[in-house]
Chain A
């Protein structure tokens, strides 16, 4: 193992890490919005949208992410929708995480004791006031552990879009290995970077969970 190889390849790897972070960050934001609306639409049983959301969640959860990426990147151009690799990656990752988040949100909303909704309604609140002011703040806390899990999976899954030539961390590692022939060193380095990223995010989310749970402490 050669230390100079690490030093030489680190700048490129870190640059590619930025791409990984960017992919994950944009996708998680879209996924949060998507997942939230899919959950609400299903809980309120909004006509038509409920069916669409249910089918969406079922299809995404029932198919491999890699296949979803291929359909979006290689398949959609056939019907006139051509997306560049990065956009394809973001769309695939957002749709994928959105489906899982919608399940987390839905479970978390349903987990809030029914008495909370009844107490709110009995005061004369509208359903949406009760949802916003009373139910959702409590669901958020319940959802954090599974949200956290989806975030971790999403960061890892960004590596899959390397197959459609997005130069994120894993793709860059492979490019460097093609030149240096040092797979062990470089892949271990990439693994270390993933680990640091994920540990960083889980720590933040754990802190958030502790903070939002302070009202439960006796």
Chain B
């Protein structure tokens, strides 16, 4: 049973069509890495899945939550979108931690506000999650007091706190100094091993080889080709994929 089902997803900004009919099916526990040149629509695709961008056309289903795109922004639809967002964790390139809250407060915020969890319970959950991402000793630090890698790990813990069905990552390590990339990728690898369903936009090839069940290559708003990391990296069928890989390598 697929956990994400996307049909004919289209998104235009004005006259600029950025996503030109994306079809995507993702099964439970699958780890999908999306690659492609800058401007090919990777971020827009992820953001549409979370309705941070409103798709122009198409159908998105995550779990049993289906939201019809292009509908009216009435309160029923807004609620549907919120329900969908509650079940998808989104990790941003720029972390977007809440700077006025400590690490543990960042992680507690979702359970308290979204799930109505009691503060003490939320604290226990948050502490466990921060420990899981290796930051059990940084609970009371403000984001400004943490390194980029630590901030991104807090951000992952913050998403996990809502117990999502799927995690979406938009270039989670692109804003990091090279020596901090590994610690974040390690956390994502651990989640993959635990069976978390994930879509990851990244250019980290060796990471993709390690964790990806499937690699998708996107260009100019379409999926050019997809397959296992070996198929895509070692014997790409499409010329565009070859060109891109020669640059990234």
Proximity string of chain A (112-156) to chain B, C-beta cutoff 8 Å, 1 when within and 0 when not: 010110110111111001000110011001000000000000000
Task: Indicate which residue in A116, A129, A137, A141 contacts B113 across the interface (CB closer than 8 Å).
Answer: A129
Task: Indicate which residue in A119, A126, A129, A133 contacts B96 across the interface (CB closer than 8 Å).
Answer: A119
Q: What residues of chain A lie closer than 8 Å to B52, measured between beta carbons?
A: 118, 121-122
- Asked if B142 CB lies within 8 Å of chain A CBs, one says yes
Beyond A119-B92, A125-B113, list 19 extra A-B contacts (CB 8 Å).
A113-B96, A116-B96, A116-B98, A118-B92, A118-B96, A119-B96, A119-B97, A122-B90, A123-B158, A123-B162, A124-B110, A133-B109, A215-B99, A215-B100, A215-B101, A215-B142, A216-B144, A217-B144, A217-B145
- How many residue pairs bridge A and B at CB < 8 Å? 65
- Asked if residues A138 and B100 are in contact (CB atoms below 8 Å), the reply is yes
CB distance from A28 to the nearest CB of B (A): 24
- Asked if B86 CB lies within 8 Å of chain A CBs, one says yes
Among residues of B, the one whose C-beta sits closest to the C-beta of A125 is B113
Interface size class of A (residues with CB under 8 A): 20 to 34
Q: What residues of chain A lie closer than 8 Å to B92, measured between beta carbons?
A: 115, 118-119
Task: Indicate which residue in B50, B86, B99 contacts A138 across the interface (CB closer than 8 Å).
Answer: B99
Q: What residues of chain A lie closer than 8 Å to B102, measured between beta carbons?
A: 215
Q: What residues of chain B lie closer than 8 Å to A133, measured between beta carbons?
A: 109, 113
Q: Of residues 49 to 105 in B, which have CB atoms within 8 Å of A's CB atoms?
A: 50, 52, 78, 82-83, 85-86, 88, 90, 92, 94, 96-102
Q: What residues of chain B lie closer than 8 Å to A125, measured between beta carbons?
A: 82, 113-114
In this complex, which of A118, A137, A138 has the most chain B Cβ atoms within 10 angstroms of its Cβ? Answer: A118
Q: What residues of chain B lie closer than 8 Å to A216, measured between beta carbons?
A: 99, 142, 144
- Asked if A179 CB lies within 8 Å of chain B CBs, one says no
Counting from the closest, the 10 A-B pairs by CB-CB distance are A124-B86, A119-B96, A115-B96, A122-B90, A124-B85, A215-B142, A124-B82, A123-B110, A124-B114, A215-B100
Interface residues of A (CB under 8 A from B): 113, 115-116, 118-119, 121-126, 129, 133-134, 137-138, 141, 215-218
- Asked if residues A126 and B142 are in contact (CB atoms below 8 Å), the reply is no
Q: What residues of chain B lie closer than 8 Å to A115, measured between beta carbons?
A: 92, 94, 96
Q: What residues of chain B lie closer than 8 Å to A113, measured between beta carbons?
A: 96
CB distance from A94 to the nearest CB of B (A): 29
Among residues of B, the one whose C-beta sits closest to the C-beta of A216 is B144
30 contacts between A and B (CB under 8 A): A113-B96, A115-B92, A115-B94, A115-B96, A116-B98, A119-B90, A119-B92, A119-B98, A121-B52, A121-B85, A122-B90, A123-B85, A123-B109, A123-B159, A124-B82, A124-B83, A124-B86, A125-B113, A126-B82, A129-B113, A133-B109, A137-B100, A138-B99, A138-B100, A141-B100, A215-B102, A215-B144, A216-B99, A216-B144, A217-B142
